[in-house]
Structure 1
Amino acid sequence: MNTVPNPIPPSDPAARELLRLADQCVKCGLCLPHCPTYAQTRDEGDSPRGRIALIQGWASGQLVWNAALAAHLEGCLGCRACERACPSLVAYGRLIDGARACRQAQRPRWQRWWSRRRLETVSDAVQVRRLVGLLARLRGAGALAWLGRLAPSRLAVYLRLARVIGTPSPASAVPSVTMAGDAVELFVGCTQEGLQGGAVMAARALLARLGVRARIADESLCCGALLRHAGHPEAADRRRARVAEVHAGRTLVGFSSACVGELREHPGLAGTAELCAYLDALVWPETLRLRPAPLRVLVHEPCTHRTLLGGNAAVHRLLGRIPGVVLIGLGEQASCCGAAGTYMLERPGMARALFADQLAAIRAAAPELIVTTNLGCALQLAASLREAGLEIAVEHPVELLARQLHPPLEA
């Protein structure tokens, strides 16, 4: 049975905070050309300005939560492209996350628990590694293709990602190494080792060549971003606070732009570095050489790297060290690929529509390899390219760098 939550009482502190944030918006509309969902639907309710107006109506008690309101607010990608274009500096990310938290608070207790528990499970590193191992066995037995033919549409959305997830990388079996003296701490989060373990191995190898000791915490940690964007800020805060506690006083370096952006919101983690930016800032010895690679490499820029981390110029500089590499971008189609955390699973239709524009640009650019600094984007790109019949590998930039080390890494 579906229930319609009551309006938020205007006296509620959460409602007052939503209204305070929303009142910064002057409804100028400069954000509209930058919103991926508005570009698809041309519906004002799917624009930042429209969503802010809906939040104002709901928080002031003029609107009740219904299917139409939910479709507009839950349909937001959270890419925050609008924030970069806003002359009034509206904190749209805090606003949409706050609205979702208020919505969760109005749901029945069991629904809140189920929503939170699902996300806690998929953002648990141990569970992720087990799932990847299971998927590898199913794929090896030909079961994924069989399931794909029989699966309902909801399950099929998950299977499309399962087909592009490789077998668990040896990185997931590499224990953390405690070293004497200071060491850089690699934040692998809840999914990096299980879903893109090759990047972890590559980073450790490259850092070693650069004379940097690297370690990974024994404890499985998560930045909490998925929980926060789904309306569970308390659970997200606990996870992020634990990261700050474990890595206190250390240099923390993250692989995924989304995780780094989330961690930096915590006062104790404001100095968290993104891996490519960290590598770019190091002094590279003249003896460290990279072998030539005559490749056309498309550098995909995740929304989180563009909006939260200030752009990926460091990625271009790093890959520019490889002789022969030709770096290309998406040009005017450099918008959201449709991943957006769990968005690609919950709203696959919109996710596919968002990627369609990029697909045309990718076909025209004809890259031999695509690199991206966000794991969710990597999965969305790989799955979408496979569906389109394009055999283009997608990986983290550090994997290409490590592969070109001279002398090469031992097999």
Structure 2
Amino acid sequence: MPPKKITPPLMDETIRSLLEKSANLNRCVLCGKCASVCLSFKHFKSEVFSPRGRMALFQSYSSGNLEPGEKFASSIMNCFACGACESVCPTPARPRLAGLLMRSAPPLSQHLAKLQKSLKAGNFPVGFFKAAGLKLSPAAASFIQPLAPLKHAEGILYFAGCLSDSFMPESIRAAWNLIQQFGYNPQLSSGVVCCGAPYLFAGLLADFCRIALANIKEFEKARPKTILCGCPSCAAVFKSYPDFFEKNSKEGKAALRLASRIAVFPDWLEKALPSKKALLSLENLNVIYDEPCSLKYGVCATKSPSRILKSLPSLHVEKWREDDCTPGLPLFLYGKSNNPIAQIQNAKLAQLKEKAVDVIVAEDSFSRAWWRIELMKRPSIKSRVSSLAELMMSCF
């Protein structure tokens, strides 16, 4: 007797279509090459927590051959969306995107209910990060201007992101001043505050798409040539907007235009730096670079921050013993539990007690915020946390 078909509850056609057309779910050949680079598989040592295992589960669920249970939900929740799997996949399949889409499927609702409720109530980012231990800064708003068509020929718009906007305005100030130091006139914006990543990670796909469309509309008003993102996680999300709309639709074409204008701040800085390097006055500092996954893998992958740091005189740049990158937003969502992210970051904290590190350069806003919170709890560790822009501005 053939197995009974199960109709996946509320597996709406939007998710099903995106799984097939954007995530290329059925193009996965289950070769397992992805397992060797997966943080989750490395930690749990179970096929269910490998990208191949997840794709097999998703294929079965999507086709109605699997009734999801606790292990199904746990598998999805323990994908940290670092993108390592997609960087080694020999097929067009996209396990990272599939995992993010599956968060909107019903089996995840009870696991994400608390976060979804907070987001729906408008408590992100302020309430979420205040609860995590960050102090809200009243100075942030003074750097933000309404969106308007850019008047300057270079057309640079700087996107700070909700976390820096609310809690770390000093990183906005440093980036803005640094861009001006190089002879440009950037614009900052209050029209676009959040890229939508929290909603995507929380399984609120419809809300994420609404935010994406609103952001696209706002950016179109300014008509920038380049949108510099201070947070690489935000840049990666902006570049992923086309994945969530029909390619030939009006929305899809607008999303592609936006994605083509996105640049991560370190890439822009690396190109502009040679003309000003002689003006830098650096003290001798021991620096360690905390590489975010959003710059190690995927559409924004770049080594520009480490190249910039190594090119600057008087800086002694160290590496962590582990070569693992730091996930951005998942660091806040899952970093306090017994999982790969907690293990990676706790190992790094232990190393700080052994090393004489003056500055931790954390380009991702979420990882930088996490470091600040953790170091506040450990006054014996004298290292300070900085963005690349903050470190550079201290040298002029």
- Global fold match (TM > 0.5): yes
**Pairwise mapping of residues 385-404 of structure 1 onto structure 2 (< 5 A)?**
385=375, 390-404=381-395
Aligned to 1:296: 286
Q: 2:37 aligned to 18, 21, 34, which one?
A: 34
Q: Which amino acid aligns with 2:359?
A: L
Q: Does 1:246 align with 2:218?
A: yes
Structure 1 unmatched runs, 5+: 1-5, 136-157, 406-411
1:17 and 1:243 mapped to 2: Cα distance? 20
Q: CA deviation at 1:210?
A: 0.9
The answer to whether residue 193 in structure 2 is matched with residue 218 in structure 1 is no
Change (3 A) 1:31 1:274: same
Aligned counterpart for 1:207 among listed residues 176, 179, 182? 179
Alignment of 1:68 with 2:74, yes or no, is: no
CA displacement at 1:334 relative to structure 2:
2.5
Displacement of 1:279: 1.8
Q: 2:227 is matched by which residue type in structure 1?
A: L
Contact preservation (8 Å) 1:339, 1:380: no
| Residue number in structure 1 paired with 2:245 | none
Once the 2 structures are TM-superposed, how far is the Cα of residue 287 of structure 1 from its aligned partner? 8.5
- 3-state SS in 2 of match to 1:296: strand
Pairing partner for 2:338 from 337, 345, 349: 349
Query: Do the aligned partners of 1:322 and 1:401 also contact (CA within 8 Å) in 2?
Result: no
Instruction: Tell me the SS of whatever aligns to 1:326.
Output: strand
Displacement after TM superposition at 1:325 (Å): 0.8
Letter of the structure 2 residue corresponding to residue 8 of structure 1: P
Distance 1:56-1:325 versus aligned 2 partners, 3 A rule: same
- Name the residue aligned to 2:25: 22
TM-superposed deviation, 1:114: 6.9
**Structure 2 counterpart of 1:349, one-letter code:** N
Aligned residue identity for 2:181: R
2:236 corresponds in structure 1 to 261
Maintained 8 Å contact 2:282/2:313? yes
Q: C-alpha distance in 2, partners of 1:278/1:315?
A: 11
Partner amino acid for 1:198?
A: E
Equivalence for 1:82: 85
CA deviation map 1:271-318 (0-9, x unaligned)? 211111112222654586111221111111101111124534221333
TM-score of the aligned structures, taking structure 1 as reference length: 0.78
Q: Distance in 1 between matches of 2:59 and 2:119?
A: 28
Match in the other structure for 2:145? 176
Cα distance change of structure 1 residues 380 and 26 upon mapping to structure 2, 3 Å threshold: same
Pairs within 5 Å for 1:57-206: 57-103=60-106, 116-119=116-119, 121-123=122-124, 128=126, 158=131, 161-162=132-133, 165-166=134-135, 168=137, 170-176=139-145, 180-182=151-153, 183-206=155-178
Counterpart in the other structure of 1:381: 371
How many percent of aligned residue pairs carry the same amino acid?
20
Q: CA deviation at 1:101?
A: 1.9
| 1:83 Cα deviation from its structure 2 partner | 0.9
Tell me the distance in 2 between the aligned counterparts of 1:229 and 1:92. 14
Compared with structure 1, are the counterparts of its residues 318 and 309 closer, same or farther at alpha carbon in structure 2 (3 Å cutoff)?
Answer: farther
- For 2:209, which of 221, 233, 237 is the aligned residue? 237
Distance 2:392 2:206 in 1: 38
Of residues 59-68 and 393-402 in structure 1, the stretch that sits farther from structure 2 once superposed is 59-68
Per-residue CA deviation, residues 164-183 of structure 1 (Å, 9 max, x unaligned), is: x3561634323428774344
Deviates most, 57-66 or 67-76: 57-66
In the alignment, the residues of structure 1 paired with residue 263 and residue 382 of structure 2 have an alpha-carbon distance, to the nearest angstrom, of 32
Q: State the AA in 1 paired with 2:8.
A: I
SS state at 2:33 partner: coil
Q: Give the structure 1 partner of residue 301 of structure 2.
A: 311
Aligned letter for 1:260?
A
Superposed CA deviations along residues 63-103 of structure 1, whole A, max 9, x for unmatched, are: 22222221111121111111112122321122112212223
Instruction: Tell me if structure 1 keeps the 8 A contact 2:10–2:105.
Output: no
> What is the TM-score with the length of structure 2 in the denominator?
0.80
Give distance in 2, aligned partners of 1:170 and 1:93: 36
Distance in 1, Cα, partners of 2:185 & 2:20: 48
Specify whether residues 336 and 209 from structure 1 end up closer, same or farther in structure 2 by C-alpha distance, changes over 3 A only.
Answer: closer
3-state secondary structure, aligned to 1:252 = strand
Distance 2:144 2:389 in 1: 20
Distance 1:331 1:107 in 2: 37
Quick one: which of 296, 313, 318 aligns to 1:323?
313
| C-alpha deviation, 1:348, in angstroms | 2.5
Per-residue CA shift, 1:168-200, capped at 9, x if unaligned?
A: 163432342877434421112222122221110
Instruction: Return the letter of the residue paired with 1:379.
Output: A
Once the 2 structures are TM-superposed, how far is the Cα of residue 61 of structure 1 from its aligned partner?
A: 2.0
Matched with 1:273 is: 263
Structure 1: distance between partners of 2:109 and 2:167: 32
Q: Distance in 2 between matches of 1:8 and 1:295?
A: 56
- Residue 11 of structure 1 deviates from its aligned partner by 9.3
Q: Separation in 2 of the partners of 1:322 and 1:283?
A: 10
Greater CA drift, 388-397 or 256-265: 388-397
Q: In 1, distance between residues paired with 2:19 and 2:277?
A: 55
